[in-house]
Amino acid sequence: MSTTTRVFIARLAGLGVFDPNGDRLGRVRDAVATLRVDRQPPRVLGLVVEVQHRRRIFVPMGRVTGIESTQVVLSSGIVNMKRFEQRPDEVLVLGAILDRTVRRIEDDVAVVVVDAGMEQNRARDWVITRLAVRSGMRLGRRRGEVAQLDWDEVDGLAAPQSAQGTTSLLALLSALRPADMAAQLQDMPEQRQQEIAEALDDNRLADLLEELPDDDRVHILSALTDERAADVLEAMNDDDAADLLRELPAADQERLLQIMEPDEAAPVRRLMSYGDYSAGGMMTSEPVVLLPDATVAEALALVRNPDLSPALAAQVFVVRPPQATPTGRYLGTAHLQRLLREPPSALVSGIVERDPAAIAPDASIAAVTRHLATYNLVAVPVVDENQRLLGAVSVDDVLDHLLPEDWREMDADPIQADPAAVRHHPANDAAPNDTARADAAPVQPVPEPAGDGNA
């Protein structure tokens, strides 16, 4: 059971959607979910937000950083303005689930769904776990009583059995890490691979493509419509999107880059201009970047982002404006260990380190590897001739390029230690790590439905 606050979706309808600076972007109109078989709780993929001129767009749940009783806050003000189009495996919660008549399994009584409560699971996916339902009229009352039931306590909302093959497989894969899901996918027929790809949302498919061998991910991306392929490329890390596009014919590269949002395509184009085995070709253009007036508290809040790899979360890079890469002049790096030793109100500009020096984008992979090893770093900044920060190369970026091209397809050597030895090792007598809850994304509570169940 998730420890985060439950949010009832009907209460979100009409709430304003704001960027981190408090500027209003639009209003929530619905939530998009994907139903699963066997009464498994459905995943909430994102929100349908109405912006100017009554245009409705899709905002992934991963972009939502705060949900309050009066507003929804996003991680940035940059949103994809492509008009929302519902896919075959998706349902609109307010449009398709609310007011549905279902049956309570316990006593086979018909009830009406009046609200749906979602919360984050351990994988940080939002899932609908509870339903507020109203029973029929009793003792002459005009309205029935409202009760809350677990999703699996009602019948009538599961995905149709005709979709059970792919949906059941998705349910099994959803609990896996992207790398493990990719390993499972490689053993499937091409048709089933494509069915899985079509059923995944853009973010999940992006994570999967980042872990697949080049041939497989090119095949999957090429089978998508151009619009869907562009959406998935936008959801990928810029360096991974650039690597994938390099595997496509030049005409296909340019066509997809033209369809992508300009602000999403620009960093990918920039990365593609560097050599594949250079620092510029390996780097990510989205490390954690802060301005000199940022505080230690702000830096720690950013590195808690669960979407960051451990290597990128180990330090923040401080620059003069502008903050987006390519930034203003690079001032230095503040490492996580140093941040933890400083008062939350301290400025990051006062604790940055300039040594060891940054590297140039044309540095070879051998030079980058030596630099990381010499100074015991997990990531190194990349700057241009004017000392502007372009990005950062992390240890995992280097490993991806040092390993053989077919390393994902090789039989893995056993890396699990002897369970008995691990169980009796003195280090295991330490207290359990309780950082998982502390790192959970803050979500402000939304009141649960009152007794009358009005949505």
CATH class of 7-155: mainly beta
Task: Write the CATH number of the domain with boundaries 289-402.
Answer: 3.10.580.10
Each domain of the chain, given as residue ranges in start order, spans 7-155, 176-273, 289-402
Report helix, strand or coil for 133: strand
Report helix, strand or coil for 258: helix
Taking a C-beta distance cutoff of 8 angstroms, is the pair 12, 455 a contact?
A: no
Exposed / middle / buried, residue 82 (Cβ in 10 Å: 0-12, 13-18, 19+): middle
Q: What is the gyration radius of the CA atoms in the chain, in angstroms?
A: 24
Report helix, strand or coil for 96: helix
For 86-144, write each residue's pLDDT tens digit. 887 788 998 888 888 889 988 889 999 999 999 998 878 899 999 999 886 443 444 56
Taking a C-beta distance cutoff of 8 angstroms, is the pair 134, 453 a contact?
A: yes
For 346-375, write each residue's pLDDT tens digit. 999 999 998 888 999 999 999 999 999 999
Q: At the fourth CATH level, which superfamily is domain 176-273? A: MgtE N-terminal domain-like (1.25.60.10)
pLDDT of residue 187 exceeding 60, the answer is: yes
**What span, in angstroms and rounded, lies between the C-alpha atoms of 225 and 234?**
14
Amino acid at 337: Q
The pLDDT of residue 312: 93
Q: What is this structure's pTM?
A: 0.58
